[in-house]
Structure 1
Amino acid sequence: MSERPGIRRRAPVDAPLWRNALFVAPYLLVFAGLLVAPLLWSFWISLHRANAFALGRFVGFDNYFRLFNDRIFLQAIGNTLYFVLLTVPALAVAGLLLALALNRRTRLAAVLRGVFFASSVLSVTIVTLVWRMVFMPRFGLLDMICGWFGRTVPPFLSDPHLAMLAVAIATIWWSLGLPMMLFLAALQQIPDDLFEAAALDNASRWQSFRRITFPAIRRSVVLVAVIQIVFQFQLFGQARLLTNGGPNNVTTPIVLYIYDAAFRKWDLGLGAAASQLLFVLILLAAMAQLLLARRKGDAA
């Protein structure tokens, strides 16, 4: 059948057209301007002996060699990894447990969701001030409570073995609201019919969780883990305000090392090199988590 004259054939709706790129062009421009360009510029600075006033001479990878010969930087890497191991699993587990407990259509559950999420909107300054008053020796809240039972509390913020644990506790309290809300959103997408069918089959709560709930929220678990890995690798404010990296640099994370190198010692080349290594560490950790979750999903 021949086409009618004057009628133009239209392309299929799902045909790939270059004009579709115009819809994402504003985002790509902002992404390139705020993330990609600074990342490339930071890498270029890391190849120079730079300071706050001039780029300096080109030194190649000398700043990276200086980092790996710096005992404090290597300790900062270990401190950051230890902090991530303390916080990310705890945030994922505690957020999931809270979401399961508060996944109710009651007024009390709604109020408690607001209470637990409220800490997430506080600034890091307020959070650290609160927890300094909790951990303060002799006059702190924790010491006062333990004093009622005739117990003494170790100096968390000045003990090299407990200082990072104190920073992790404050961070978990501060960051718990977001994982809880993400898990709640995932739980509320599960149809109630599945649980009713499981109840008819006399399935226990653990069986319902293992067979219905967890497979349905697996992607949310991966999302929470990746988000928290990215966030907790960037530890700075809590360590800076609670312990200032001490005692003996046991709570100095990579970002605090970058701050000291770039803005206190004015060695921008060294700070830029450390920031590039931090980016690589975050990328590797997030990709490892994604690959591990994908393998578990395929095996299931």
Structure 2
Amino acid sequence: MTDATAPARTIERARRAGGAWIGPDWRNIGFVLPFLAVYVALLVWPLFDGIWISLQKFDMFDGTGAYAGLANYKRLFADKIFLGTIENTALFVVMTVPAFVVIGLGLALALNRPTRIAAVLRATFFATSVLSVTIVTIVWKMVYLPDRGLLTNILAVFGHEPIAFLSSQTLALPAIAIATVWWGIGLPMMLFLAALQQIPRELYEAAALDSAGRWRSFRHITLPSIRRTTVLVAVVEIVYQFQLFGQSLLLTRGGPNNASRPIVQFIYETGFRDWDLGYAAAASEVLFGLMLIAAMAQYLLTRRRGEG
């Protein structure tokens, strides 16, 4: 009968061969030290430094601050403008993230074909994601112009009056969301395409032999196979869309009447226009907390559904 502890004793003897302890070679840490140094300098240190600044009444001009405790956070949650930016940002995330997942998956399914037309369309849809936010906002400002914009001309064909999308409190944020989805749909599409191309074709052939239709194959083969990619796309887009800034600043300046002002724009204006850096840092930490909660909730919810 084989001794179950023999492998462990063999390893122990090998480690102590010659009376010298053979442990992990700590010299290997030299390979990761450059990355760790950059990571700590650019991410970890600014995170904790931002938390410290958020607890101060910080003077931007001379770089000094007086400890204020949680006073900045108390001000934030009594500030109606800041609370409005939380509502705007959360609503924007709700409008865009499901659209990125659904439209991205739909485009990937439609273009997952080895044809030239599909290749051209894939390149076309992905090309928008490499444009700068300035170009995107210029394009969509021309689309939304109430006097001679593209949408105005389309509405005129059907006999409708022009609509000032960017000047409407109810339509400004949805208009920014549409422009954002058009801009960023390329990345989710490519991620879904990569996942779809990893699914073995034999699964679909076996389903076809069992007389399974397209919907049944999609539900029982495609969706389970790309579940991890779906979670990835959702979490990445949640993090991205919580950082809405350039589109709202360039399209509406946060208006009308703060109806499209996001948290990042509030942070920017508070810190670099009003010079209240402690207050802006506190808003930044609230944004970080919201992003973390939303991303983790999406991940845990999707994981639980997948296990169920």
User: Shorter-chain TM-score: what band?
Assistant: over 0.9
Q: In the TM superposition, what is the alpha-carbon distance from 1:28 to its structure 2 partner?
A: 2.2
Q: In the TM superposition, what is the alpha-carbon distance from 1:56 to its structure 2 partner?
A: 2.1
Percent identity (aligned): 60
Structure 1 residues 46 and 21: CA distance shift in structure 2, 3 A: same
SS where residue 56 of structure 1 aligns? strand
Letter in 1 for 2:181: I
- Pairwise mapping of residues 211-290 of structure 1 onto structure 2 (< 5 A)? 211-290=220-299
Provide the rounded CA distance (Å) in 2 between the counterparts of 1:8 and 1:192: 55
SS where residue 57 of structure 1 aligns? strand
Equivalent in 165, 169, 174 of residue 165 of structure 1 = 174
User: In the alignment, which residue of structure 2 is the partner of 1:51?
Assistant: 59
Q: Deviations over 1:57-112 (max 9, x none)?
A: 11111111111110000000000000000000011000000000000011110000
User: In the alignment, which residue of structure 2 is the partner of 1:81?
Assistant: 90
Deviates more, 1:265-274 or 1:51-60: 51-60
CA contact (8 A) 1:79 1:250 kept: yes
Matched, 1:100 2:109: yes
Q: In the TM superposition, what is the alpha-carbon distance from 1:297 to its structure 2 partner?
A: 1.6
CA contact (8 A) 1:45 1:55 kept: no
TM-score, scaled to structure 1: 0.93
Matched, 1:35 2:43: yes
User: In the alignment, which residue of structure 1 is the partner of 2:186?
Assistant: 177
Alignment RMSD: 2.0
CA contact (8 A) 1:158 1:247 kept: yes
Provide the rounded CA distance (Å) in 2 between the counterparts of 1:196 and 1:19: 51
Equivalent in 98, 105, 118 of residue 127 of structure 2 = 118
Q: In the TM superposition, what is the alpha-carbon distance from 1:30 to its structure 2 partner?
A: 1.6
Structure 1 residues 145 and 27: CA distance shift in structure 2, 3 A: same
CA contact (8 A) 1:236 1:255 kept: yes
Q: In the TM superposition, what is the alpha-carbon distance from 1:19 to its structure 2 partner?
A: 4.8
Matched, 1:206 2:215: yes
Provide the rounded CA distance (Å) in 1 between the counterparts of 2:232 and 2:21: 37
- Pairwise mapping of residues 66-77 of structure 1 onto structure 2 (< 5 A)? 66-77=75-86
Q: In the TM superposition, what is the alpha-carbon distance from 1:16 to its structure 2 partner?
A: 6.2
Letter in 1 for 2:83: L
SS where residue 56 of structure 2 aligns? coil
CA contact (8 A) 1:103 1:109 kept: yes
Structure 1 residues 209 and 63: CA distance shift in structure 2, 3 A: same
Structure 2: 5+ residue stretches without partners: 1-9
Letter in 1 for 2:32: V
User: In the alignment, which residue of structure 2 is the partner of 1:143?
Assistant: 152
Structure 1 residues 197 and 32: CA distance shift in structure 2, 3 A: same
Letter in 2 for 1:207: R
Deviates more, 1:249-258 or 1:20-29: 20-29
Structure 1: 5+ residue stretches without partners: none
Structure 1 residues 154 and 190: CA distance shift in structure 2, 3 A: same
Provide the rounded CA distance (Å) in 2 between the counterparts of 1:25 and 1:221: 33
TM-score, scaled to structure 2: 0.91
